[in-house]
Structure 1
Amino acid sequence: MSNVQPMGYIVRLSSYVEAEAVALTPLEESLQRGQIVEVVDHSQGGARYLAVITDVSETEPHPLIDPEAFQALLREARAEHVDTTELLRAMLDPTSPFRFATTVHLRLRLLGRLVGDALGDIGRPPRPRSTIHLPEAGLLEQLLCPNRPSVVPIGRLSLRSDVRVCIDLDRLNTHMAVLGQTGSGKTETVKRLVYETIRSWLARGTPRRGVIVMDVAGEYTGYPYRPPSATPLLEALARHGIQPRLTIIVPFDPLYAHPALVEAGVAELAGRLSRLYRGARAAGVVLHARSPTATLVHPPPRTELTPAELQALLATAEMLVVAAPLPDTLPLGLLLELGAFNEDAEYTAALHEALEELEEYNIVSSVTLLSELARIAVDARPRSRDFTYPTSIDTTSICSAADEAQLLNAIRSQLSMAIGADPQSLAGTRLQEPSVWVSRLTGDYLDPSLEALRATCASSPGRIRERLLGVARAAYRIARSDVRSRKALYRRLSRIARVASPALNPLAARLIAWRVYNGFTILHLAPPSVGGVNHPLVTWLLNEVFEEAVRGYTLDQRMLVVVEEAHNLAPSREDTFSKRMLVRYAREGRKWGLGLVIVTQRPVGVDPTILSQTATLVALRMTNPEDIQAVKSSVESATAELVERLPDLDRGEALASGNALPERRIPLLARIDMVGH
């Protein structure tokens, strides 16, 4: 117990865990909401408790005067025949020279009973007249930041700067929510958490430990956006000599992204790593779509890598920036052709309905001919279902088309003949705008003209052939299947997407998943990445990480997945593939050592199922009533007293509670340390 004089005493127990108290000192900083206090019950032999102040109020001011001096003053007044009523009225005048004080009333929430330096159950609560003290810093340090390898500091108590606030990394597999409006300090909080996690895991040398961060604005890499008042995470790590196995994944869709811009961005990021970690050799590589080869763009000179060289680089590079061809949409041509070779009316209706839903999922872009697609499926009626698997396709008529009408007829004809269907059955079928076909066949969205198509045919005829062949093979697979349910149709579409879409080579995908699980990974969704926070991309990566966790499971493995902009990836009012995967992580990830950190400025926009699975809350300033209510209803560790304080918090100040705190029964008002300080 602290040796200082009591701050006050309990006057009433409102319930088993709530008490009312009166302070013995004037209102000051130590008597604010959120302050942790020690309660001593002298009637129980000095039993000690911890409590937190949940509310503070004051009465009318009254003069502060020594009783003996007051009696002497009254005697003197009577001796001089002064009206004592007037004297008392003058004393109560706020302008009088007397010192005034107020009665400060406190509401306390009891947290537990101290047994030595440990906190246990309350047992018998303290009785009225129990005294209130400020606990010693050493006691709070022992409770809030015990000396264990898994415990790392992230800040200090707002009202006790001599006491650190810590997180137990081994409990993060029960998931955490970091919530706060724009400008409240969310990203700085997460950067501190990730920084300490990497530092601790490297110091402990434990294998199968990884962190993956979805960097939406480049605030972790410092590229292309560097906040003027904050330090990017990579700079903070390098400044303190912390060098994990680092992978920066730059996703891009080969059908949209300009190759030169992707290569330039990868080279710039790799160059930044080389400058940050002087003497370290950082590599930048652009993987080829559906191919085990790649282009090395840093260090110069630009070099084409063989499959063996790429495999060695992915397995051994300590610092790697890798541009991975991960599309954010299924190819439009594929989806328009899926129903063209099946005469089952029930299947056609299911396909039409499914494509409408897929458009809402943001899987399909620019699909304006869904009704036409349904008609195609009915009208095509191939003569035979004995189709052949397409192994080649003739692009001569496509490359020599004189106008847009000839181009569409040539595409329609070649796709039909590639699987043995009658081209005439599609003679009147409308496909899509010629410019869309040209852009997807050439990969050039800046110049979708027939001249650009002919130039690509002359320089890279294999590109045109390969992309059309992918669509033909997808049509063959769907034509050979008897899909009658939407659930089965979704599975079929997923398989087709892997065949027809530009995608990562399976071997490269496996090696990247291994790197992610054994180091620090930033999924760089800012430029030069194309597509932003797109659902298929995140779904793919999370699925690969989940499968790697299951394949190589060990008892002490841990993976921390930081999901920035969670309201976009797991929206409360939409059903997206990324949300389904995050729900799987929230429900099943704990047993595989997978921990989620859900970061958002709009809690009301995040799926409540995911929020309800987060056992730890770090809440920064929020003023929106809907968001505050969402926190109350979705996060179990969010008490009413904590949530009511959110609008009053300063930038970088947070209310923390829940399972990942070393002493989970103590809710904390903390000031988070910035990584650059």
Structure 2
Amino acid sequence: MMNDKIVGHVVGVHGFCVKVELASEIKSPVRAHLSNLQGASLAISINAYLSFSIGAGQYAIGIVTDLDARDSFEPSNEELSLELTKPRRVATIQLLGTLKPVFRSESYRFDPGISILPTLDTPAEIVEKYLLDALFDDAPKRNKPEDHPDGEPFDSGLRIGIAIAPGNQIVKGSFNDLFSRPLAIVGNTGSGKSNTVSHLIQQSQKDRITNRPKVFILDINGEYASAFGKPEPGDGRKPNYLYVNGKELGLPVWLMNTHEACIWLSVAEQTQQPALINLWSVAKGGKFDKGNIKNNVQEAILRINHILGVIDSNSFNKALDIKQIWSAFNGYLKGIGLNDAIKKLIATINNTIVAADEKKCSKSYGADEPELKTNLQQLRDGLSNLTTAEPEITQQSANKPIYFSLDYLQNSTELYKAASIEEGDQSFRQFLRGLLLRIGNRLQDQRWYCFFNYDNLGIKSFRDWLEKLGIGSETEGNDVCVIDCSMIDYEILPYVCGIIGRLLLELREHAPSMKRFHEPWVAVLEEAHNYVCPVRQNESRGLSVSREAFERIAKEGRKFGLSLIVASQRPGDISPTVLSQCANFIMHRLQNPDDIEHFRRIVPSQSRRLLDQITILSAGEAIVLGSSFHVPARVQVDRPEKAPHSQSSAPHLSWKPDSQTRFDLDEALSYWKIEEVKETESSKEV
């Protein structure tokens, strides 16, 4: 009598792909047996798992990817084949790894490597329950601290859901790995992403309530408050307002660094950028002294290096390109006292560039090019000596989050002073008037309200702002911080998300090196395709702010105790740099071929056949894979205990004549804070 666990024998081994001829008496995908009280098992359906004994108590584990009822003899001539009269049934198994017994224990551990492959005629067996537990329930153990005692637990399995095959098998992922390295949760709208995000975070907080923030959710659609018991804003959400845990939040303009400020105000590099950088520094407590001079000289040196690179290149318009860069160079040195040698070099170089321009030479400098290159190198060395001198007064960095009043930005006197404009320099003043006008327009634009409301909220320092997020304090229910961005304009959103992300990273970067891992944080990027998208032509300037911030977190955040959960319905519209750093993926239903193909290129080869099923996943189902899991699996993700406000509508009920769920226009307009001017009798007469 055949062993009730055996379903067939190996008839082919092709690398890590095994062919199994199924036993003739097996007529159903369900195999019943009494071993270990396991009962009926899903043995030979797609996604089922089979084991192969390879000696020394070890088992090679594989997943069923194909089932075929035709066996052919294929000679070297591919056009010839012989169909058998009684075709055999063959299953294709993708090997995933090895289950090895633990020394002096009855348990097993999973090893993703396979050093011994099954041989021909090796029995293919149903994976028994204790082996399945080692595969799915006993999640990988990651990130053991160096000073942690051996034998003491340092990681645990976080429950994800139930495996589709085998049924009723709990699937867990490494707690440490899921929240210490970037995780991508993707899927079409309505596929269950928001529920999965809520479930994972709710599970992570069980028995770990500290009343100190660990998770920061950038809630783009205003749907997560209900999932984490956060109140709605008392007087309803208002346009252009930012909220945290139901309370109004500001994002003070002085939290911007100079790079973000220059993008925000669309400054001209040659004329306005040096002045704005100096203004930003002075506004934050610095002085226009040698500290600022040092910054400008360093920027000027970068322009010289750029010019030298153009000279050595094959640029078609070499002289024209150098003329534009040289103009920017002069802008950075305006108002700085230079010695006679440097002034002479600048005058010589300027004459060479002007002479070429007058001769309409746009391609090269001809015979003057070697001398130009030498003079530029000498100028660079001379300017470098200026930067090595110790500043007379230590300035506050313009990139530090230090408070200043909005009035300072509108003070033309301070701006001219920061630019070191001489009294009669009317042409340069004209450029700065354009910058002042742009600043004024920004301050009047209500879409930027959350950047200017900090005085009303009593935010007078960076610490005050951090305490609004709960950082540095202990408040009941503070473990998850929901930052509601649902009322922020689409153009403003990338600035808001990017600046918050950068500040969280920089705060942890400035912690002592031995304490950066204490109480690690996770930033949840909901609908990330809106503000972490790839570089595109003619994109909104703010997108570069958020993209740079989150690409940096994805690449470097792990070292500082800051990770990401990236949630999106369009993974193809997310920065490749961010996705490439994701160690784990939870993939719900996807339909777009470009999105699916994108994942085929980045997931391990043994998981690619599983992706063939991603278009037919039902709501809540997902394919999970990555370093948090021993093997990829198709899983029904558990529903969260409290669901977010992301349910789909029910037109069948709502469209009935007697339905009470009607759209309320007055309530919507009131919620939107739109004041309607009613027509009076006098206005009708007019």
TM-score normalised by structure 1 residue count = 0.55
- With over 3 angstroms needed to count, the CA separation of the structure-2 counterparts of 1:533 and 1:210, relative to structure 1, is farther
Question: 1:652 Cα shift?
Answer: 1.7
2:638, 2:610 → 1: CA distance?
A: 20
Q: 1:32 maps to which residue?
A: 45
Question: Which of 582, 589, 594 is the equivalent residue of 2:557?
Answer: 589
Q: 1:174 maps to which residue?
A: 181
**One-letter identity of the residue aligned with 2:182:** H
Question: 1:604 Cα shift?
Answer: 2.3
1:208, 1:165 → 2: CA distance?
A: 29
Question: 1:180 Cα shift?
Answer: 2.1
1:160 aligns with 2:128: no
Question: Which of 633, 638, 644 is the equivalent residue of 1:668?
Answer: 633
**One-letter identity of the residue aligned with 2:183:** M
1:511 aligns with 2:479: no
Question: 1:188 Cα shift?
Answer: 2.0
1:220 aligns with 2:224: yes
**Cα deviation code 1:412-437 (max 9, x no counterpart):** 99987998755966898897899988
- With over 3 angstroms needed to count, the CA separation of the structure-2 counterparts of 1:4 and 1:415, relative to structure 1, is same
2:554, 2:585 → 1: CA distance?
A: 15
1:588, 1:249 → 2: CA distance?
A: 35
Residues 122-137 of structure 1 mapped to structure 2, 5 A cutoff: 122-137=114-129
Runs ≥4 residues deviating over 6 A: 246-250, 262-265, 327-334, 340-343, 390-395, 411-420, 426-439
Question: Which of 519, 523, 538 is the equivalent residue of 1:557?
Answer: 519
**One-letter identity of the residue aligned with 2:18:** A
Question: 1:106 Cα shift?
Answer: 0.7
2:586, 2:251 → 1: CA distance?
A: 41
SS in 1 for 2:214: strand
Q: 1:526 maps to which residue?
A: 486
SS in 1 for 2:552: helix
- With over 3 angstroms needed to count, the CA separation of the structure-2 counterparts of 1:540 and 1:286, relative to structure 1, is closer
Question: 1:28 Cα shift?
Answer: 2.9
Question: 1:599 Cα shift?
Answer: 2.1
Residues 100-139 of structure 1 mapped to structure 2, 5 A cutoff: 103-116=88-101, 117-120=108-111, 121-139=113-131
Q: Is the 8 A contact 1:213 1:523 kept in 2?
A: yes
Q: Is the 8 A contact 1:638 1:657 kept in 2?
A: no
Q: Is the 8 A contact 1:329 1:536 kept in 2?
A: no
Q: Is the 8 A contact 2:202 2:640 kept in 1?
A: yes
**Cα deviation code 1:227-282 (max 9, x no counterpart):** xxxxx422xxx5xxxxxxx89999xxxxxxx9993699859x64xxxxxxxxxxxx
Question: 1:52 Cα shift?
Answer: 0.9
1:592, 1:391 → 2: CA distance?
A: 32
**One-letter identity of the residue aligned with 1:144:** F
Gaps of at least 5 residues in structure 1 are: 61-91, 93-100, 222-231, 239-245, 251-257, 271-283, 293-323, 355-373, 399-410, 447-462, 468-497
1:12 aligns with 2:12: yes
Gaps of at least 5 residues in structure 2 are: 31-41, 72-84, 102-107, 140-152, 276-295, 304-323, 338-403, 537-542, 643-686
Question: 1:543 Cα shift?
Answer: 1.8
Question: Which of 200, 205, 208 is the equivalent residue of 1:198?
Answer: 205
Q: Is the 8 A contact 2:214 2:480 kept in 1?
A: yes
**One-letter identity of the residue aligned with 1:652:** G
Q: 2:194 maps to which residue?
A: 187
**Cα deviation code 1:607-633 (max 9, x no counterpart):** 222222212122222232221221122
Question: Which of 518, 521, 528 is the equivalent residue of 1:566?
Answer: 528
Question: 1:672 Cα shift?
Answer: 0.7
**One-letter identity of the residue aligned with 1:523:** I
**Cα deviation code 1:344-381 (max 9, x no counterpart):** xxx9xx99xx9xxxxxxxxxxxxxxxxxxx9xx99xx9
Residues 344-383 of structure 1 mapped to structure 2, 5 A cutoff: none
Residues 251-270 of structure 1 mapped to structure 2, 5 A cutoff: 261=238, 270=246
Question: 1:386 Cα shift?
Answer: 9.8
Question: Which of 48, 52, 64 is the equivalent residue of 2:63?
Answer: 52
1:537 aligns with 2:536: no
- With over 3 angstroms needed to count, the CA separation of the structure-2 counterparts of 1:503 and 1:137, relative to structure 1, is same
2:189, 2:52 → 1: CA distance?
A: 38
Question: 1:193 Cα shift?
Answer: 1.4
SS in 2 for 1:261: coil
1:620 aligns with 2:565: no
Question: 1:659 Cα shift?
Answer: 0.7
Question: Which of 201, 211, 218 is the equivalent residue of 2:215?
Answer: 211
Residues 384-399 of structure 1 mapped to structure 2, 5 A cutoff: none
Q: Is the 8 A contact 1:137 1:162 kept in 2?
A: no
Q: Is the 8 A contact 1:211 1:516 kept in 2?
A: no
1:604, 1:584 → 2: CA distance?
A: 19
2:412, 2:558 → 1: CA distance?
A: 50
Q: Is the 8 A contact 2:45 2:64 kept in 1?
A: yes
SS in 2 for 1:183: coil
1:175, 1:112 → 2: CA distance?
A: 24
SS in 2 for 1:576: helix
2:51, 2:625 → 1: CA distance?
A: 19
Question: 1:21 Cα shift?
Answer: 0.7
**One-letter identity of the residue aligned with 1:169:** F
Q: Is the 8 A contact 1:26 1:102 kept in 2?
A: no
Residues 419-458 of structure 1 mapped to structure 2, 5 A cutoff: 421=423, 440=442
2:636, 2:429 → 1: CA distance?
A: 69
**Cα deviation code 1:165-193 (max 9, x no counterpart):** 11212113232222223332222222211
**One-letter identity of the residue aligned with 1:506:** F
SS in 2 for 1:142: helix
**One-letter identity of the residue aligned with 1:9:** H
SS in 2 for 1:562: strand
TM-score normalised by structure 2 residue count = 0.54
**One-letter identity of the residue aligned with 1:37:** L
Question: 1:592 Cα shift?
Answer: 1.9
1:18, 1:668 → 2: CA distance?
A: 17
**One-letter identity of the residue aligned with 2:618:** D
1:620, 1:130 → 2: CA distance?
A: 36
Question: 1:635 Cα shift?
Answer: 3.9
What is the Cα-based RMSD across aligned positions, in Å? 5.3
2:582, 2:264 → 1: CA distance?
A: 38
1:596, 1:394 → 2: CA distance?
A: 36
**One-letter identity of the residue aligned with 2:531:** L
SS in 2 for 1:547: helix
**Cα deviation code 1:150-170 (max 9, x no counterpart):** 321021101233211112121
Question: 1:675 Cα shift?
Answer: 0.7
Aligned identity (percent) is 19
Q: Is the 8 A contact 2:182 2:582 kept in 1?
A: yes
1:210, 1:531 → 2: CA distance?
A: 27
2:221, 2:568 → 1: CA distance?
A: 14
Question: 1:107 Cα shift?
Answer: 0.6
**One-letter identity of the residue aligned with 1:34:** N
- With over 3 angstroms needed to count, the CA separation of the structure-2 counterparts of 1:112 and 1:220, relative to structure 1, is same
- With over 3 angstroms needed to count, the CA separation of the structure-2 counterparts of 1:634 and 1:248, relative to structure 1, is farther
